[in-house]
Amino acid sequence: MNKRKKPTELLLFEYLLNRKTLTQQELLTYKNLWRGYQGEVLFDSYLEELSCDSIVLRDVWLSKNNRIFQLDHLLFYKDCIYMFEVKNYSGDFYYENEKLYKETGQEIDDPLIQLKRSESLLRQLLKSLGYHYHLESKVVFINSECTIYQAPRNTNILLPTQINRYFKQFQPHVSLNHKFPQLAKKLTSIQLKQSPYRNIINYNYSQLKKGIPYILCRQFLNVVKGKQTFCHSCNNREFVNDSVLRNLKEYMLLFPKERITIEKMQEWCNLPISNQRMRYILKKYLSLEGNTKGAYYIPIE
């Protein structure tokens, strides 16, 4: 099973949450991203408990005929490919006239429509690659506090109360199709590097708070004692190298086109450490370009 990574856009919002005041719309976007990620992690736990011979791919972005689609989870088992679209909805919802509504009467996007589109595009992609296998797709409402009234029967919906029973069909000692490892490897090789639909949040360097938020309490570090940084808020410690490296990764994600210099990192970290020490840390994790006053650092490939 490929390891799930926290989505880049979610990381962006988490980093910015510590450094600027988000608008109400930005906070809503952040909460939706976090809720979606938590739902996918929860569904991962069901897949990890499977003892059958299977292959799982997660968070795969693919393209067919210039149409991009995303697959939350793909499970290869026996001679079938299972698609799962996970929704971490909480509260009461209902179907009426083939449309999905919140309890308040507000219509929302029906994930069954999204699932149908993704299944069609995946089937076309597999056919173009020379693979012809049965596809079974499900929208999984993962949250135990979600209730769907009047859900259409005999559809591709998997409700919270059905999940445990559903996974009992995946029995051990059943042989996996011998071509599935090759297919999984092929899909992994052609997937897009990242989501093309990243939520855009406006920010610039000057408006962001400088410093290193501690990983546990998210308060900014301000004391260095020997080889360690010290957090006055939670009284925890961390090695200086680890603190700077975390903050360096934030900077690289927030400003991927900006050059990394000792002076810039001193300002970004806002810690009482010397230029010599910062130079040592950067050289340890990055590659130096140039040897003059305009020298800068780039990631080691």
Residues 258 and 155 in one domain: no
What is the spatial distance between Cα 169 and Cα 49, in angstroms, rounded to a whole number?
Answer: 13
Amino acid 231: pLDDT: 83
In the Cβ-directed half-sphere of 15, how many Cα atoms lie within 13 Å?
25
**Do 107 and 76 share a structural domain?**
yes
For residues 162 and 223, membership in a common domain is answered with no
Distance of alpha carbon 290 from alpha carbon 100, whole angstroms: 59
* Whole-number pLDDT of residue 44: 94
Q: Across residues 224-247, what is the average pLDDT?
A: 88
Is residue 16 located within the same domain as residue 158? yes
Examine the domain organization and report whether 277 and 181 are in the same domain: no
pLDDT per residue over 45-96, tens digit each?
999 999 999 999 998 999 998 899 999 999 999 999 999 999 999 999 999 9
In a domain? residue 204: no
pLDDT at residue 108, rounded to an integer: 94
Q: Are residues 17 and 119 in the same domain?
A: yes
pLDDT at 244: 93
Q: Are residues 173 and 215 in the same domain?
A: no
Residue 253 CB contacts under 8 Å (≥ 6 apart), including other chains: 8, 11, 12, 15
Residue 217 and residue 256 share a domain: yes
pTM of the full predicted structure?
A: 0.86
For 291, phi and psi rounded to 5 degrees? -135, 25
Same domain, 130 and 259: no
- Domain span at residue 286 reads 210-299
**Is 198 inside any structural domain?**
no
Q: Examine the domain organization and report whether 234 and 110 are in the same domain.
A: no
Q: Please indicate, yes or no, if residue 3 is contained in any of the structural domains.
A: no
Q: Report the domain count for the chain.
A: 2
Q: 25 and 165 share a domain?
A: yes
**182/214 same-domain check:** no
Give the end of a domain, one of 122, 155, 190: 190
